[in-house]
Structure 1
Amino acid sequence: MDTILAMDAGGTTTRALVADRTGRVHGYGLAGSGNPVSAGLDAAMSSLVEAASRALEACAQPVSLASALIVMAGASSRMPGEQIPERLAGIGVRGPVRVESDLLGAFCSGTIRREGYALVAGTGSVAARVRAGRLDAVADGTGWLLGDAGSGYWVGHRVATAVA
């Protein structure tokens, strides 16, 4: 069966799933931080492989991975592009491996449209315009030290400052 490996490499948890082209999920796996900014390169690579391996092990029947998509904050700013396909080839990924922004991943998980807007307002905050399936413009998302006005951290910091 021809399947796709999709992963969300977060700062705390890496989630991986194996799905066929109809969208049916065949396996799901979890591991630790897959983001090299928060975990370091070696730990992030290990988490990507571990989550993917667990997703493959959870499949009821053998699958053939046609490609892989990984989304993470900062996209691939500290992840050497050539190392990811090499490591994933060791567990059976033979096709192309793409690394994209988690913001684009969030947009695509909510719609089949290739154009629109994404707004994330949680601990951090960021807004983006998507055109032709790619990030076209991004506002903020620089993190709590440099921006993210209106985020949960921003609100909490102002409350704590007012109370103090």
Structure 2
Amino acid sequence: LYVGWLGYSQALLVRSGQPVHLMSPHKPEREDERRRIEDLGGCVLFLGVWRVNGSISVSRAIGDSSFKPFVSSEADVSRISLNGEEEYLVLACDGLWDVLTPSQVISFVYRHSKSSPDGLSDIAVGLVNAAQDSGSSDNISVIVVLFKTSLSPPKA
């Protein structure tokens, strides 16, 4: 499985009820991102959150051309070998991940996979609603991809 990303969006792969780390969001406070920005002549400032040149709080993105070259459009790519124990993948933007932990998402998907007659769409909409109920005021996009029809309960 190859995952390419820019910005805050994250992918959560669940294997046998456990999260598998696939990516790290592009935030200016990451040491490697901060160094890249500063090497290009930009700066990273803390103004409530870490910001590139005191303005934008993401260090890589599609668009945002006025912030180039400091906000890069070069994606990171990770590769993970699948072993057949993968159950599902949740792709979501920071509107979800800022308010729900991977453990909460795993528990939610498991609970709702048992009770959701319409499947993936209901689970994705349910995660959006859970993020809103948890106080997210950001945009929230969620995609759920099932690899198996029967899911393992989350492990403590």
Structure-2-length-normalised TM-score: 0.26
Structure with more relative contact order (C-alpha pairs < 8 Å, separation 6 or more): 2
Structure-1-length-normalised TM-score: 0.25
Structure that is richer in strand per residue: 1
